[in-house]
Amino acid sequence: RVDGSRLWATIAETARFGATPAGGLNRLTLSPEDGQVRDWFRDACQAAGLTVRVDALGTQYALRPGRDASRLPVAFGSHLDTQPTGGRFDGILGVLAGLEAMRALNDAGIETEAPLLLVNWTNEEGSRFAPAMMASAAYAGDFTTDEILDKTDAAGITVGDALDAIGYRGTDAVGDQAIGAFVELHIEQGPILEAEGLTVGVVEGGQGIAWFDGTITGFEAHAGTTPMPRRRDALLGLAEIALAVERIARAHAPTAVATVGEAVIGAPSRNVVPGLVRFTLDVRDPKSEVLDAIEAELRASLPAIAERRNLAVDLARIWRKEPVPFDPGVIAAVDAAAESLGLSRRRMVSGAGHDACNLAGRVPTAMIFVPCKDGVSHNESESATPADCAAGADVLLQTVLTLANA
Amino acid sequence: RVDGSRLWATIAETARFGATPAGGLNRLTLSPEDGQVRDWFRDACQAAGLTVRVDALGTQYALRPGRDASRLPVAFGSHLDTQPTGGRFDGILGVLAGLEAMRALNDAGIETEAPLLLVNWTNEEGSRFAPAMMASAAYAGDFTTDEILDKTDAAGITVGDALDAIGYRGTDAVGDQAIGAFVELHIEQGPILEAEGLTVGVVEGGQGIAWFDGTITGFEAHAGTTPMPRRRDALLGLAEIALAVERIARAHAPTAVATVGEAVIGAPSRNVVPGLVRFTLDVRDPKSEVLDAIEAELRASLPAIAERRNLAVDLARIWRKEPVPFDPGVIAAVDAAAESLGLSRRRMVSGAGHDACNLAGRVPTAMIFVPCKDGVSHNESESATPADCAAGADVLLQTVLTLANA
Ligand SMILES: NC(=O)NCCC(=O)O
Ligand SMILES: NC(=O)NCCC(=O)O
């Protein structure tokens, strides 16, 4: 069993890196604050006797040897980066519960058969650099390391430069650290467990995600002299597109969700009709066909908007992550661990993307969810109880022990 | 008569300050580029024998003495600042045609009865600092100098600091430079003269303008896990409000126009439901009652949007400029000047705000318009012909001579 108070204190301890006045975190990947929490994590792992390595995309791997050096390590962890309006649990719980598991094993003097590996994946959030879960995707072979190193943020800074800026461009090749199985603990980020009064979600897979970059081109014009019918207002084009996105997602209720999360006017001015708008679109559903349908319906609705408003609309799909099922064996191990701990639970699918969804393509993988308040995440008010965090960490520890000693 | 080629060359000469790759200008008020063109203007005025003074809000006044020092100067000019997507004529033509008029009088050795005063008003555009026509409003007594000095741009920089940064906080008190009459030459910024094949607009007044700052507050939430019905999406709120603004303005066709020119998401991220949006609104009509009606109709439509989407919407009116009639005597002088030059013309109302609209509250004022290509302004492609610019400058010169020798 883990030490729940120590875990809770550790969560509080790291919440100073990137703390916001509203009690949340703004710790964008590869920012100075992310560098600080990485340094802290490395030191804490070393203090727990773990050997820490860093790969070429900055992912940190902390190894605890097993009795049988020939076996592949059982890996677990998550991410320490956050959204600009991030909370104190998203990703962080998974990494720090993993650290707590290591500490608990040390305290109890337990040696496992297989080695154990705690991982902090780079850029899970996808806010500063797209796509999300970038480093685990490269680990799984979905991108080359160079493709990822060249991705840029809104300021044009590459992942490579950002890694150098905080000293986290490691020397290990991405994917060289072999892994035998992967388990990720995470807050649910949705309302189901809380609503049903359950403690543990046994996660059977992740839904599909498609990301798009859109551009709407109209014509800058004087706000005081340009008659309404002559305007080519790119912001009004965005307004119609955003409402169409909502309507189409709702037509695929209750599973589908779709979001215009970013929208920027090219050269904004109070008395200029907007001539250029760039926006992002995030579409999700557990079914691949529904992702296809939503994209097709949206594309079908664009020409009428563009024509009526005399705008050019471009929508480019920049990323697609297919729905992914987790491994029945690891799912069963999670379920058995929760059972042995007497924790109430249910099977569920993840609405958020997670590094586990990438790992699942390469190694046997599953996830553990615990409730979060009102299902709220990507918000500074994100919250989880000490008891639920400890319960999740216990399930993680028991699952890992089962897998490592099997 | 002015020297049209010299005027055209002078327009080209100053277009290097803040030039954009697309052939327009980005010369926001009190920016370094605005500082450069101000220095150039001061030097050019001094080379033409004028005495240049600067007031506490940076407005430049270039005086040419008259025979009768007891008479108030006849003033003319406009502004040298531009929009972020500005053209090479908006405001600039009025200032440089005024300089050309001074040069032409020097060349012809003409002395006027009243002194002549060429003015470059600070922040006419209102893009960096609101309201537009800021310095002329203070000159006319609509704001105190301190009120204007304290206005801030999006980065929080005050007008006072911005003046200091380019060395243009002058020592003259605002309003101390007395003016007997004001005439402003400007491109029409609308399509009427071109469509009717006319050279000169004899401007009888300016329409009313109301500016608003809006805030829409929802709740940041995870784009992948938050069901559509639970969302409080501030960007979708903006979408509905922007379309309502358009619908209401169109209901007051053909005169009314309304524009959401700026819209910014609080902490944008691809996978976060927008929780905060700030926007601006610009509403115009020649009739005060129509401004009232549009504001009332918009306010009446907000509660339903806010309630249905569970958002808080705040709309604050930050500026209102009533419709303003120009002086019959100065209008007649403009008309007579165009008549004497054999130029085709019509009476019209200005859709844009101009410093003349502020001056009109204090001294006899009127404006001269010349056509611009396709009626386009606040756009880098803004264009006017050398012949029309010269014709406008001739009308300005003749009008000023009439007023100064009357
Ligand atoms: N878990 C999580 O919030 N990941 C970020 C990627 C996404 O699902 O948008
Ligand atoms: N003339 C001009 O474009 N002025 C800017 C102020 C306005 O928006 O009308």
Best residue among B88, B125, B358 to mutate for probing ligand 2's pocket (most ligand atoms within 8 Å of CB) is B125
Residue A232: which of A279, A277, A273 has the closest Cα? A273
Using the atom order of ligand 1, give the atom closest to the CA of residue A186: 1
Q: What is the pLDDT of residues B222-244, one digit of tens each?
A: 999 999 999 999 999 999 999 99
Residue B356: which of B343, B365, B345, B369 has the closest Cα? B365
Q: What is the pLDDT of residues A97-118, one digit of tens each?
A: 999 999 999 999 999 999 999 9
Substitution target from A82, A125, A225, A260 for chain B, most B beta carbons within 10 A:
A225
Chain A residues within 8 A of B251 when measuring between CB atoms: none
pLDDT of residue B366: 98
Please give, rounded to a whole number of angstroms, the shortest distance from the CA of A128 to a CA of chain B: 8
**Residues above pLDDT 70, as percent of chain B:** 100
Substitution target from B222, B232, B257, B374 for chain A, most A beta carbons within 10 A:
B222
Determine whether the shortest distance from the Cβ of A132 to ligand 1 is under 6 A. yes
Which amino acid does the sequence have at A52?
Answer: V
User: How high is the mean pLDDT of chain A?
Assistant: 98
Interface A–B counts its CB contacts (< 8 A) at 254
Give the integer Cα–Cα distance in Å for B295 and B245.
9
Contact partners, residue A307, CB within 8 Å, separation at least 6: none
A186 Cα to the center of ligand 1, angstroms: 11
Residue B52: which of B61, B64, B41 has the closest Cα? B61
Chain A residues within 8 A of B83 when measuring between CB atoms: 220, 267, 269, 271-272
Put simply, the answer to whether A351 touches B222 (Cβ < 8 Å) is yes
pLDDT of residue B321: 97
Give the integer Cα–Cα distance in Å for B258 and B250.
9
pLDDT of residue A319: 97
What are the strands, taking DSSP E only, across A274-400? Answer: 276-285, 312-321, 324-325, 345-350, 365-370
Chain A residues within 8 A of B377 when measuring between CB atoms: 221-222, 225
Contact partners, residue A191, CB within 8 Å, separation at least 6: A374, A375, B227, B230
Give the integer Cα–Cα distance in Å for B286 and B271.
44
pLDDT of residue B369: 98
pLDDT interval class at A301 (50, 70, 90): very high
DSSP class of residue B338 equals: H
pTM confidence score: 0.95
Give chain A's length. 406
DSSP class of residue B306 equals: H
Using the atom order of ligand 2, give the atom closest to the CA of residue A225: 9
Q: What is the pLDDT of residues B22-65, one digit of tens each?
A: 999 999 999 999 999 999 999 999 999 999 999 999 999 999 99
pLDDT of residue B227: 95
Give the integer Cα–Cα distance in Å for A349 and B175.
70
Nearest CB neighbour to B379, from listed A126, A221, A258: A221
Token code pair at residue A98 = 């993993």
pLDDT interval class at A190 (50, 70, 90): very high
pLDDT of residue A318: 97
* Cβ neighbour number for residue A296 with a 10 Å cutoff: 11
Which ligand has the minimum distance to the alpha carbon of residue B321?
A: 2
Per-position pLDDT tens, chain B of length 406 = 999 999 999 999 999 999 999 999 999 999 999 999 999 999 999 999 999 999 999 999 999 999 999 999 999 999 999 999 999 999 999 999 999 999 999 999 999 999 999 999 999 999 999 999 999 999 999 999 999 999 999 999 999 999 999 999 999 999 999 999 999 999 999 999 999 999 999 999 999 999 999 999 999 999 999 999 999 999 999 999 999 999 999 999 999 999 999 999 999 999 999 999 999 999 999 999 999 999 999 999 999 999 999 999 999 999 999 999 999 999 999 999 999 999 999 999 999 999 999 999 999 999 999 999 999 999 999 999 999 999 999 999 999 999 999 9
C-alpha R_g of chain A: 22
Q: What is the pLDDT of residues B184-221, one digit of tens each?
A: 999 999 999 999 999 999 999 999 999 999 999 999 99
Please give, rounded to a whole number of angstroms, the shortest distance from the CA of A240 to a CA of chain B: 7
Q: Using alpha carbons only, what angle is made at residue A230 by residues A227 and A234, rounded to the nearest 5 degrees?
A: 105
pLDDT of residue A73: 98
* Cβ neighbour number for residue A101 with a 10 Å cutoff: 26
Report the chain A residue with the minimal C-alpha distance to residue B212: A270
Nearest CB neighbour to B227, from listed A257, A264, A378: A257
Q: Do residues B184 and B403 lie in contact, with contact meaning Cβ atoms separated by under 8 Å?
A: no
Determine whether the shortest distance from the Cβ of B70 to ligand 1 is under 6 A. no
Token code pair at residue A85 = 């309006």
Determine whether the shortest distance from the Cβ of B35 to ligand 2 is under 6 A. no
Q: Do residues B221 and A377 lie in contact, with contact meaning Cβ atoms separated by under 8 Å?
A: yes
Which ligand has the minimum distance to the alpha carbon of residue A137?
A: 1
A263 Cα to the center of ligand 1, angstroms: 19
DSSP class of residue B172 equals: B
* B253 burial level (CB within 10 Å; 0-12, 13-18, 19+): exposed
- Residue B394 has φ and ψ, to the nearest 5°, of -65, -45
Token code pair at residue A213 = 């970059």
pLDDT of residue B199: 98
Please give, rounded to a whole number of angstroms, the shortest distance from the CA of B378 to a CA of chain A: 5
Task: Give the pLDDT mean for A226-254.
Answer: 98
Task: Give the pLDDT mean for A131-150.
Answer: 98
Tokens 């779709």 sit at which residue?
A258
Give the integer Cα–Cα distance in Å for B186 and B184.
6
pLDDT of residue B131: 97
Q: What is the pLDDT of residues A14-32, one digit of tens each?
A: 999 999 999 999 999 999 9
Residue B364: which of B327, B395, B406, B324 has the closest Cα? B327
